[in-house]
Amino acid sequence: MDAAEFRRCGKEMVDYVADYLENIEKRQVYPDVEPGYLRSLIPEEAPEEAESYEDVVKDIERVIMPGVTHWHSPYFYAYFPTANSFPAMLADMLCGAIGCIGFSWGTASEATLIALLAARSKVVKLIQADHPDRSETDIISKLVAYSSDQAHSSVERAGLIGGVRMKKIPTDKKFSVRGDALKKVIEMDKAAGLIPFFFCATLGTTPSCAFDCITELGPICNAEKIWMHIDAAYAGSAFICPEFRPLLNGIEFADSFNFNPHKWLLVNFDCSAMCSYVISHLISLQHWQIPLGRRFRALKMWFVFRMYGLKGLQAYIRKHVGLAKEFESLVRADQRFEISADVVMGLICFRLKGSNELNETLLKRINSARKIHLVPCQLAGKFVLRFAVCARTTESRHVQEAWCHISHLASELLQELPH
């Protein structure tokens, strides 16, 4: 394929992509296939001779699409959003052509690990300054890191990889870590000869979008020389709107902060931003970063920031929050259901009043119907349905339709129960 052919095929691909995204809601959001379906559709080995672009393109619908979960469908309400926007796609085309090595972005999981490793290295150096005879491995074996019991699994994994103890701090009724709870554990651990060194606070937890109380936690961490890292993977994007800034109060106590523009800021996956508040931290963060090379991801942010403008991005966040409020009202108006956690951003946690089993059955029926896609969570022992406003193309009518569908399936389910 030469440049002339790329001009022709590239323009066809632009049309394919535009068609795909314009008509995405006509596709079934969740695939019917089983893992391994691909094996019978493709040859065992790569072809000897080159095939044409047309050969490959006709297989996209035959081979690839049947296995795709359409994350950008307005019927996708699972996990958290994964961004998708036209400006980011244009930037990615340019990024692929330049193909040079860009700046230092990774995923949020990486950011947590990097912060933990930098904190580990810092505390080892601090202790060795006073006790030059203590070995690094000895110090590491006494370290303890903390996070919320609602924190993402990647936080626990960062502890595993770093070879340090990791403890979960119990949360309050709103699923937030409070100062007292952290203080209690720190004191117990210090009394047992352990060295607390790292706390990963979450702003916008994965299960319920809860916010740890960093105004209480920050001063404790600072006083105890504990590195406070803030994981705002999802909610961080919303802080471009002034009305959400109060949730950032206490940020001045943090040592490092991470959020994912690829979640909720229209910058296509993957793009995660990390910053640190002390120059020497920045240096150690770079040192601990895992991949050596990186795509030029800043290009996507630049296109998106400029072509949406701050106002456009704020409008986008607010639209999603508005749709979430709309869905919340629908749930609240239905006496059979309850809301399981405060709705602050684009996530609604809800359930039928009744047993976990009942709610598990409801979710199973929702997902088997393939019209919309949701995932559950556990909150205080209860099985809860998560409705996350995800797609750029989600409008009020989709949310209304999704609710009608859920409500209808709930009615069917409740009618089957013995009275």
Residues 296-335 that bind a second copy (CB under 8 A): 299, 302-303, 305-313
Query: CB-wise, 176 or 276, nearer to a second copy?
Result: 276
The residue from 36, 193, 246, 293 that contacts a second copy (CB under 8 A) is: 293
Residue 347: which of 316, 323, 381 has the closest Cα? 323
What is the footprint of a second copy within residues 166-205 (CB under 8 A)? none
Of residues 40 through 69, those in contact with a second copy by CB under 8 A are: 45-53, 55-56, 60, 64, 68-69
In 260-393, which ranges are continuous DSSP H helix? 261-264, 279-288, 298-332, 356-368
Least CB distance to a second copy at residue 81 (A): 10
Is 39 a binding residue for a second copy by CB under 8 A? The answer is no
404 is a site residue for a second copy (CB under 8 A): no
> What's the closest the beta carbon of residue 195 comes to a second copy, in angstroms?
13
Q: Does 10 help bind a second copy (rule: CB under 8 A)?
A: yes
Q: What burial letters (b/e) apply to 335-352, b meaning 16+ CB within 10 Å?
A: eebbebbbbbbbbbbbbb
The span from the CA of 407 to the CA of 28, in Å, is: 20
Distance CA 364, CA 374 (A): 10
CA–CA distances in Å: residue 324 to residues 239, 258, 291, 327, 399: 17, 24, 37, 5, 8
- Nearest alpha carbon to residue 207 among 245, 246, 171: 171
Minimum separation from the CB atom of position 286 to a second copy (A): 12
For a second copy, the binding residue among 104, 126, 128, 140 (CB under 8 A) is 140
Instruction: CB nearer to a second copy: give 60 or 278.
Output: 60
| Binding status of residue 282 toward a second copy by CB under 8 A | no
**Distance between CA atoms of residues 80 and 106, nearest Å:** 18
- Binding status of residue 117 toward a second copy by CB under 8 A: yes
Provide the minimum distance between the beta carbon of 156 and a second copy in the complex, in angstroms, as a whole number: 12
What's the alpha-carbon Rg for the chain, to the nearest Å?
Answer: 24
- Residues numbered 243-272 forming contacts with a second copy, rule: CB under 8 A: 268-270
Decide if residue 5 touches a second copy (CB under 8 A). yes
